[in-house]
Chains A and B, each alone.
Chain A
Amino acid sequence: MTTKKTGAEIFVESLKKEGVKTVFGYPGGVVLGIFDVLYSEKNINVILTRHEQGATHMADGFARATGRPGVALVTSGPGATNTVTGIATAYMDSIPIVVFTGQVATKMIGNDAFQEADIVGITRPCTKYNYLVKDVNDLAPTIAEAFYIAKTGRPGPVLIDLPKDVTQAKTDFKYPEKVELRSYRPTYYGNKWQIKKAAHFIAKAKKPVIYAGGGVIISNASAELKELSELTKIPVTMTLLGLGGFPGRHALSLGMLGMHGTYAANMSIHNSDLIIAVGARFDDRVTSKVEEFAPEAKIIHIDIDPTSIRKNIHVDVPIVGDARLVLADLIQAIKENPETEPWDKIRESWLKQIDEWKRERPLSYEQDDIIKPQFVVEKINELTKGDAIITTEVGQNQMWTAQFYKFDKPRTLLSSGGLGTMGYGFPAAIGAQAAFPDRLVFDIAGDGSIQMNIQELATAVLNKLPVKVAILNNQYLGMVRQWQELFFDKRYSSVNLAGSPDFVKLAEAYGAVGLRAVEPSDVEGVIKEAIKVKKPVLMDFVVDREEDVFPMVPAGGAINQMIFAPEKKKVEARLKAVK
């Protein structure tokens, strides 16, 4: 006979069955029982954060870095509502996290009890699925289902609400071996006929481009993507979330496309006759004006989620399935296709044209006597030998990272793309560092964003998670200031952050290391020192205050109509004329 276990014990045993070794948590009244069981559990490390938003971003960073679901555990009411931004961030970028929230006892639910919040109702639109467990007998099966749903198909966050009495009630513990849901059966293999058709389109295309997104990272399809590109000599552009899915330094890489994408990427897409979209969702930061997006191109769209296909744009060859599996089949189909001609020959003029675009307008900046933020990013790239895990905050810091750090491997850039959550990067870096204690983890930050979750410095210090934060300190909400500069006559309304705390002293107050670079010549030394010390470090790079991110596609324009740094003055005149 098995001895009965409490819900709290079942919770912990279930996590162990799922292979969970790290939980990001914050306690409170209704989850005291769970934290009590965790207190004597040797196989699970609980990282106490300083805010529940931090806990969810850490779980998210852990998930993006490893590909395995991250786990957060918080109390009811305010603890639960504090997780919402983290959950919505993970939802927009299809990241598997499982969030456990405490809840008031079942008989109190609906009574406006102390610290009650309808978190299942609140998070319904920003979770892949969520549960309120009302019976302890449902607990283990629910946890198994939650992990299964979070990590399969198009991944996403799942929330489980745990009423206090359910965690106290007892039952036998039996963890399901396997989860089957009649109403949830993701498609993994692509339709053979569509794959053949895609191979045909690829053989006939003169000016094809691969547009790779987050789905490539999620499905671990980098090797297949590289094989496809090298086999057919098709250049690859990536979304922000696809960076690292194809080596950034590869001759066939075009870098990022979209609003702040490279000239070569946007021109290639605009002039292409075939786009092969792999795990990308035609986001408006990419397409800009949809009506004028790639006017001559036929589109092959590979995505595991049927709703992503034809949501924003007409698709000629839809292929629902897992990117890795579909690409493998597609490569096979291409090899078997008798129509194929020697790739080198048929690509020659297209690749030549692309090289011209690359040469015509490469990403650039001018380093003078003030530190340029792009220079800092390039130096970090150089000194980490491109081998670090990089997180970003949101804004200019994020775009400069995407442009100037050449990501060669998947899961090395963790950035909030869809929701664009300031305050994401630092806790995400801590989550990634918890997963990989021996790797170098950098958060490339803005001075605004870092202050949104700065409290997690304590978490990093006390848990000995030596993340390196590089603040590109322009004393502005820089991205917003850039828009005001270009589109609001330089009326810098509510963007001046001058007078922010001294980040070096702040780091020291938390027990971290603070370093500052004021001269361009300081930059290298500061980064080297940060890499050397085995502690969390805040680096304060005092950068050019009014540096802008270019190229840029102004909102509403077509992606081949980009504006560039040297023309800034001319552009201002033009924009004014348009208005």
Chain B
Amino acid sequence: MQHIISLLVENKFGVLSRVSGLFSGRGFNIETICVGPTLDPSISQMTIVTIGDDRIIEQITKQLNKLIDVIKVVDLTEKEYVLRETALIKINARPEDRAEALRIADIFRARVVDSTPTTYTVEITGDEKKIEAIINLLRPLGIKELIRTGKIAIAREEGKTITKE
């Protein structure tokens, strides 16, 4: 099952490689990983989407907690949360297709953030389903390039926190 794990880590040199090294070294999966600053400049936040059965997820959260630089681990999957991902999609924009492209973008409340004589670049934010849906609709027009940020997530209320005792 897919789990979304939110981490607070020391904002230090090498932390990302300690986290990613843990996953590769122990054969755990990473679907996506996002890292960014928090309000406290000494702390960074990571959102990791991973897959595994209960036993593996238990090991993943324990092993993450064990890393010296990890301050807090939360498995959001057990709580209500809001998840978002952004994609930038560069599509062919032939004159005859331009209207259709704009119409699709509009339906999804996506924005065209760049255009050239032959392309549009569409920016879309949403959950996985929404992003998959717009990709499917834009595909017939010809997708030239697709870039996705990976998922970030936030608990709706206090998530189940797994802190260090």
User: Which A residues fall within an 8 A CB radius of B?
Assistant: 120-121, 124-125, 128-129, 132, 149, 181-185, 187, 305-307, 310-311, 320
- What chain B residues lie within 8 Å of A181 (beta carbons)? 68
Q: Is B65 in the interface zone, CB < 8 Å from A?
A: yes
Report how far A307 CA is from B70 CA in the complex, Å. 15
Q: Please state if B69 and A183 are interface contacts (CB–CB under 8 Å).
A: yes
Q: Give the residues from 1 to 31 in chain B that come closer than 8 angstroms, CB to CB, to chain A.
A: 9-10, 13-14, 17-18, 21, 25
Q: How many pairs of residues, A versus B, come closer than 8 Å at their CB atoms?
A: 40
Q: Please judge, given known A-B contacts A183-B10, A183-B71, A184-B164, whether A307 and B21 are in contact too, CB under 8 Å.
A: no
Q: Please state if B13 and A128 are interface contacts (CB–CB under 8 Å).
A: no
Q: Which of B13, B18, B165 has the most CB of A within 10 A?
A: B165
Closest 7 CB pairs of A and B: A183-B71, A307-B62, A187-B165, A129-B68, A306-B62, A185-B164, A184-B68
Report how far A128 CA is from B66 CA in the complex, Å. 9
Q: Please state if A149 and B66 are interface contacts (CB–CB under 8 Å).
A: no
Q: Which residue of B lies closest to A308 (CB)?
A: B62
- What chain A residues lie within 8 Å of B70 (beta carbons)? 183
**Interchain residue pairs with CB less than 8 A apart (9):** A121-B17, A181-B68, A183-B10, A183-B70, A183-B71, A184-B164, A185-B165, A307-B63, A320-B165
Q: Please judge, given known A-B contacts A185-B164, A310-B55, whether A149 and B68 are in contact too, CB under 8 Å.
A: yes
User: Which B residues fall within an 8 A CB radius of A?
Assistant: 9-10, 13-14, 17-18, 21, 25, 55, 58-59, 62-63, 65-66, 68-71, 164-165
Q: How distant is A319 from chain B, measured CB to nearest CB, in Å?
A: 12
Q: Please state if B17 and A306 are interface contacts (CB–CB under 8 Å).
A: no
Q: Which residue of B lies closest to A126 (CB)?
A: B25
Q: Which residue of A lies closest to B13 (CB)?
A: A132
Q: Which of A124, A311, A320 contacts B59 (CB 8 A)?
A: A311
- What chain B residues lie within 8 Å of A182 (beta carbons)? 71
Q: Please state if A120 and B21 are interface contacts (CB–CB under 8 Å).
A: no
Q: Please state if B66 and A305 are interface contacts (CB–CB under 8 Å).
A: yes
Q: Please judge, given known A-B contacts A183-B164, A306-B62, A310-B58, whether A125 and B68 are in contact too, CB under 8 Å.
A: no
- What chain A residues lie within 8 Å of B21 (beta carbons)? 124-125
Q: Please judge, given known A-B contacts A305-B66, A310-B55, whether A124 and B17 are in contact too, CB under 8 Å.
A: yes
Q: Please state if A307 and B59 are interface contacts (CB–CB under 8 Å).
A: yes
Q: How distant is B106 from chain A, measured CB to nearest CB, in Å?
A: 46
Q: Which residue of A lies closest to B14 (CB)?
A: A120
Report how far A310 CA is from B9 CA in the complex, Å. 25
Q: Which residue of B lies closest to A128 (CB)?
A: B68
Report how far A311 CA is from B163 CA in the complex, Å. 19
Q: Which residue of B lies closest to A153 (CB)?
A: B66
Q: Which residue of B lies closest to A189 (CB)?
A: B165
Q: Which residue of A lies closest to B163 (CB)?
A: A185
Q: Which residue of B lies closest to A149 (CB)?
A: B68
- What chain B residues lie within 8 Å of A149 (beta carbons)? 68
Q: Please judge, given known A-B contacts A307-B59, A307-B63, A311-B59, whether A183 and B68 are in contact too, CB under 8 Å.
A: yes
Q: How distant is B20 from chain A, measured CB to nearest CB, in Å?
A: 10
- What chain A residues lie within 8 Å of B165 (beta carbons)? 185, 187, 320
Report how far A371 CA is from B66 CA in the complex, Å. 49
Q: How distant is A510 from chain B, measured CB to nearest CB, in Å?
A: 40
